[in-house]
């Protein structure tokens, strides 16, 4: 009772703060992401904003805060929980610390290709994971995309797991990724993305791993010599909405948000594919030495002990259900 009253009071304050007084009121939403406006996240955010504005006839507008302006991905997700950020486009990197069910999607060598990932995430398995978000104070509107991740470093060209021994590699703040990298003999160094460029520049870490679109967008070619197309893990992205916004919407408006997020996700995926297809040539022009055909089978084999742990933790049946999708 007490809490309900406080919540109602807070909601009232929030509505007044947003200038909402009636059905015609407009609502400007803050959307944050970690990359530049020209990146796949920026393209996705713009597509979502246009669609939401169109569907709602201008009632809902989106203001973009690119390039970590609202903090790193973990901080932005926290912001969505408490309502200081309305919408976040984020990799799954830190999301498993909030919604543990997303962690299964972070297992290396789980998804064969983009089509496989889309079939899983847009199908029942992915939708069941999105359905868990409200239990953790978040709304998962749609699966977007970050892309298959590739290893860069400043020490040597990487072709086999022997080459990764002793490297200090920045990982996302993600337990599954850290566990896997440990198995490759690297020193996994979890770090928020906004700190990464400087850490690479100053040699605090030797390397990092990210999709081609991120490596391009973040100008990592300026601070990394070697790129290996390891494609060791698919990196999903999520479009997350603050429950404080969601709870104030009518059913029709909720539908608009879902439809707009789907449009954003589709645009994001298209841009990821474009960068993956064309970006390596650009990175070579920028001076990176590229190993295009590393021994991926050897990397996958080296991860067996980590896979055994993941099977125990997440359930072999669940992992198989993902692997067997579309087979």
Chain residues in the site for ligand EAX (CB under 6 A): 34-35, 73, 91, 93, 146, 172, 193, 210, 214, 235
Please state the closest distance from residue 237 (CB atom) to ligand EAX, in A: 6
- Name the DSSP class of 194: G
Please state the closest distance from residue 199 (CB atom) to ligand EAX, in A: 12
Cβ partners under 8 Å of residue 229, min gap 6: 150, 280, 290, 291, 292, 293, 294
Q: Between 193 and 299, name the residue whose CB sits nearer to ligand EAX.
A: 193
Q: Between 169 and 244, name the residue whose CB sits nearer to ligand EAX.
A: 169
Please state the closest distance from residue 172 (CB atom) to ligand EAX, in A: 5
**Tokens coding 144:** 């977007």
Q: Identify which of 270, 276, 260 has the alpha carbon closest to the alpha carbon of residue 43.
A: 270
Q: Between 27 and 217, name the residue whose CB sits nearer to ligand EAX.
A: 217
Q: Between 35 and 283, name the residue whose CB sits nearer to ligand EAX.
A: 35
Label each residue of 78-116 as H, E or C. HHHHHCCCCEEEEECCCHHHCCHHHHHHHCCCCCCCHHH
Please state the closest distance from residue 18 (CB atom) to ligand EAX, in A: 28
Distance CA 184, CA 163 (A): 9
Which alpha helices (DSSP H) does 184-315 contain, by range?
196-202, 212-217, 243-246, 251-285, 296-302, 304-314
Please state the closest distance from residue 38 (CB atom) to ligand EAX, in A: 14
Q: Between 55 and 212, name the residue whose CB sits nearer to ligand EAX.
A: 212
Distance CA 327, CA 310 (A): 22
């Amino acid at each position: 009772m007490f809490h309900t009253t406080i919540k109602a009071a807070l909601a009232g304050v929030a509505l007044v703060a947003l200038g909402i007084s009636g059905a015609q009121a407009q609502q400007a939403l803050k959307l944050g992401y970690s990359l530049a406006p020209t990146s796949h996240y920026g393209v996705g955010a713009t597509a979502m904003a246009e669609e939401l504005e169109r569907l709602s006839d201008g009632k809902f507008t989106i203001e973009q805060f690119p390039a970590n302006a609202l903090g790193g991905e973990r901080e932005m997700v926290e912001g969505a929980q408490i309502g200081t950020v309305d919408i976040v486009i984020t990799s799954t990197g830190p999301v498993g610390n909030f919604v543990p069910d997303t962690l299964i999607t972070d297992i290396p060598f789980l998804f064969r290709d983009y089509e496989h990932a889309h079939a899983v995430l847009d199908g029942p398995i992915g939708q069941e994971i999105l359905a868990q978000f409200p239990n953790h104070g978040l709304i998962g509107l749609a699966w977007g995309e970050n892309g298959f991740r590739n290893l860069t470093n400043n020490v040597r060209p990487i072709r086999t797991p022997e080459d990764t021994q002793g490297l200090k590699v920045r990982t996302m703040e993600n337990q599954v990724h850290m566990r896997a990298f440990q198995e490759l003999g690297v020193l996994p160094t979890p770090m928020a993305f906004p700190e990464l460029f400087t850490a690479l520049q100053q040699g605090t870490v030797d390397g990092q791993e990210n999709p081609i679109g991120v490596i391009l967008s973040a100008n990592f070619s300026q601070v990394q010599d070697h790129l290996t197309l390891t494609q060791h893990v698919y990196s999903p992205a999520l479009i997350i909405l603050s429950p404080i916004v969601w709870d104030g919407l009518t059913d029709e408006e909720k539908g608009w948000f879902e439809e707009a997020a789907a449009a954003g996700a589709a645009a994001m995926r298209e841009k990821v594919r474009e960068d993956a297809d064309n970006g390596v040539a650009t990175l070579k022009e920028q001076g990176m030495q590229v190993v295009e055909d590393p021994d991926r089978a050897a990397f996958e084999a080296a991860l067996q002990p980590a896979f055994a742990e993941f099977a125990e933790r997440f359930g072999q049946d669940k992992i198989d259900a993902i692997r067997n999708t579309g087979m």
